[in-house]
């Protein structure tokens, strides 16, 4: 009986080993390859995502409006610097280069409507987790103030 069990075990081991090998180009090994962006669910293009809020369209001038940017700098320094440093990560992300990563509409909606954005917008949800669950405080800026801050971000 003992030799029967040993033979059965050897046979099972043989079949198990035979089933594990194979060509490295099989579909089973393709799961380790990164999926193209179009195949990743729930990841909108950050430059196409306008966010959730009152802003549906923003037209940026060919050049920075210096007066508006200066007004935006003042608003930013008064309302935002407790959590954001212009060029480095702090409690919140640095705004430097943000227009290369997000649409102008998304940025303004995040400024104007942060509570709903972190609940419903996939990018804002991801940022909330990246920054240890620290939600952005609503500073109750007007659309004009938010637009000025956006113009200031263009200068960073």
Taking only the tens place, the pLDDT of each residue in 35-80 is 444 444 566 788 888 999 999 999 999 999 999 999 999 999 999 9
- Of 9-13, 47-51, 136-140, the one with minimum mean pLDDT is 9-13
Query: What's the distance, CA 75 to chain centroid?
Result: 25
Residue with tokens 């043989």: 14
Evaluate if residue 146 carries a pLDDT over 90: yes
Mean pLDDT of 9-22: 49
| Mean of all residue pLDDT scores within the chain | 81
Question: Do 68 and 151 meet the contact criterion of CB atoms below 8 Å apart?
Answer: yes
- Give the pLDDT score at 116: 93
Evaluate if residue 23 carries a pLDDT over 60: no
Give start and end residues of each alpha helix (H) in 21-142.
66-79, 98-101, 104-112, 114-120, 122-130
**Pick from 150, 151, 67: which is nearest to 112 by CA?**
150
d(CA 66, CA 68): 6
**Pick from 131, 128, 148: which is nearest to 79 by CA?**
148
For residue 139, report the phi and psi dihedrals to the nearest 5 degrees.
-90, 0
d(CA 78, CA 85): 12
Query: What's the distance, CA 141 to chain centroid?
Result: 23
Close Cβ partners of 56 (under 8 Å, ≥ 6 residues apart): 50, 105
- Give the pLDDT score at 26: 44
CATH top-level class of 67-153: mainly alpha
């Amino acid at each position: 009986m003992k030799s029967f069990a040993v033979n059965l075990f050897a046979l099972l081991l043989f079949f198990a080993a035979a089933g594990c090998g194979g060509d490295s180009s099989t579909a089973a090994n393709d799961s380790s390859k990164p999926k193209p962006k179009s195949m990743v669910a729930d990841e909108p293009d950050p430059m196409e995502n306008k966010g959730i809020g009152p802003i549906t369209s923003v037209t940026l001038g060919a050049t920075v409006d210096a007066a508006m940017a200066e007004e935006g700098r003042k608003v930013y320094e008064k309302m935002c610097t407790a959590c954001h440093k212009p060029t480095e990560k702090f409690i919140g992300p640095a705004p430097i280069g943000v227009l290369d990563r997000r649409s102008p509409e998304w940025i303004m909606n995040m400024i104007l409507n942060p509570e709903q954005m972190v609940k419903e917008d996939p990018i804002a949800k991801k940022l909330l987790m990246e920054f240890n669950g620290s939600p952005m405080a609503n500073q109750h800026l007007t659309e004009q103030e938010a637009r000025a801050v956006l113009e200031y971000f263009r200068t960073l």
